Structure 1
């Protein structure tokens, strides 16, 4: 199996290198600056699950030079998705399936409209990782999950092949028959956790000290559960309770990637995540009061670069 990783950021670098360890052919499709960094330093993982160093890896800067791709792993931020479409067209025309692991839901429909429903596999990832000055992946925390599954019957074979490599890889890979449920469950959690931490600009420990503030996060979870139901995905009381428990059990200094991006003055995935939820709700004539409030509070910080 030939897996193309679109970009070699922390998430793509981690899972791409783990797939290569497991015997898959992996090509990183990167910009010139990243290519020069890979040429000079190679790619490495520093992880509680074991370190990896590859001084030479396969990379390309032009999708036309990628031969016989089977799956393209797309892990860009939501606001960069449109910028990948031209490269993806080249790879899909060569026979590749697209496996996006973005947060949210809207991107699935966007990609299906662009490339056809049979070409877009459902996927999501759970990992905390960053790049150091050499462009190597620094993985912290115990989890490194990649969950994927077919969105139509034509994808059964390719997702089964992907499962065989993920089972051999140093990761928690899972092929599921109900990927939309998994996507919505994560979307529910991400919108609540990123919304509350970014809006008040505090880690979760400080938020937990104030029950009135933490309650807003719970309201966000409940709104997202209701929205999922409008799209025929049944998130349960247990799912909501598990999300609350996760926020209660996080380290006091834990915060969301959106809050981290705000601290760094980087663009935020606000429109992709909360804006997307508001648009999906509007299409179902549903009002998301707390989500709209989070959106309005965070909006001034969305693009400060």
Structure 2
């Protein structure tokens, strides 16, 4: 099948390049001018693995307005904040027969997909795959070849022939997909993981391996996991794993899978970009409020991240000058 990746950031490039290297026809579409223009000028994207073997991979990339391809499947990997713009600018080439697959962080994207695609063409997913975009046109795959995994689930929870073909293609590309028939449980399982690792590593500015070595890592993780599971139980969402298994996943991925990895939220934070905390910890808190339950730790962390974002972009010199002149 032919694939088009919407969002040529870290994860979009990794999934698309691996599919391309597995022999599939892949295009890339992005709205970020520095990324598109740099890749066009270079004739491709520079890819490395854990900082080594940096090499140029030729890829075909376009702005949405310039793209007229007809893929079988779209793979969406934009930030939640930029998805609406991406879909609107891309809508001229969407067709009824096409599917859309996503392993995006956070929640909020499914409702946007439903505005353009029939529910039986929407496949949600998760991606426990560490990747870093060093700069425009330069991506680093974290972990050994074949590292990481994905879970995929149809929005209708009824896999069809195309779904099974997508899973087979992803397996060929070493993305290690698992197909489930539990849509919300699949999506929320990754959100809970991210609500622990992404947020805490971002606040402390540390990689996952350093986080998990802390004597407080387990206590903080279990507190966040327990609140999130309490919320999901009230909403009637059956998660893929137990609370204990979720903690073991956090521990294993941080300790063994990607110990040197700084999560994507930290990558955004460190570059002064808005984070997706409202779509992760904030989503859990808001879902709890809907069910008359306050996940207070998640709300506290969300507000701490926003405070850190504000502080990081605050113009202290101008503030001091204004106070002195007042």
Question: Shorter chain as normaliser: what TM range?
Answer: 0.7 to 0.9
> 1:60-79 maps to which residues of 2 (within 5 A)?
60-62=62-64, 65-79=67-81
* In structure 2, distance between residues paired with 1:7 and 1:206: 29
For 2:252, the equivalent position in structure 1 comes to: 246
* Post-superposition CA distance 1:123-148 (Å, at most 9, x none): 12122222345613211223243332
Relative distance call for 1:203 and 1:116 in structure 2 (3 A) is same
- Matched-pair contact (CA < 8 Å) for 2:126–2:187: yes
* Residue matched to 1:150: 154
Check the 8 A contact 1:63/1:91 in 2, yes or no.
Answer: no
Say yes or no: does 1:28 pair with 2:28: yes
Q: What is the alpha-carbon distance in structure 2 between the residues aligned to residue 4 and residue 72 of structure 1?
A: 5
Aligned counterpart, 2:279 = 272
Matched, 1:187 2:187: no
Task: Tell me how far apart the structure 2 counterparts of residues 253 and 46 of structure 1 sit (CA, whole Å).
Answer: 15
- For 1:280 and 1:134, how far apart are their aligned partners in 2? 36
RMSD across aligned positions (CA): 3.0
Contact 1:258/1:268 (<8 A) preserved: yes
**How far is the alpha carbon of 1:28 from its aligned partner?**
0.7
CA contact (8 A) 2:64 2:90 kept: no
* TM-score, length of structure 1 as denominator length: 0.85
C-alpha contact 2:201 2:211 (8 A) present in aligned 1 = no
The residue number in structure 1 matching 2:237 is 232
State whether structure 2 residue 39 is matched by structure 1 residue 38: yes
Structure 1 residues 256, 58: CA separation in 2 closer, same or farther (over 3 Å shift)? closer
Residue 124 to residue 88, structure 1, CA distance change in 2 (3 Å): farther
Is the partner of 2:280 in helix, strand or coil?
Answer: helix
Match of 2:13 in 1: 13
Q: Which segments of 5 or more consecutive residues in structure 2 lack a partner in the other structure?
A: 314-326
Q: After TM superposition, give the deviation of residue 275 of structure 1 in Å.
A: 1.6
Residue 209 in 1 paired to residue 211 in 2? no
SS at 1:98 equivalent: strand
2:131: which partner in 1? 129
The answer on whether the counterparts of 1:89 and 1:115 sit within 8 Å (CA) in structure 2 is no
Mind listing any 5+ residue stretches in structure 1 that lack a counterpart?
A: none
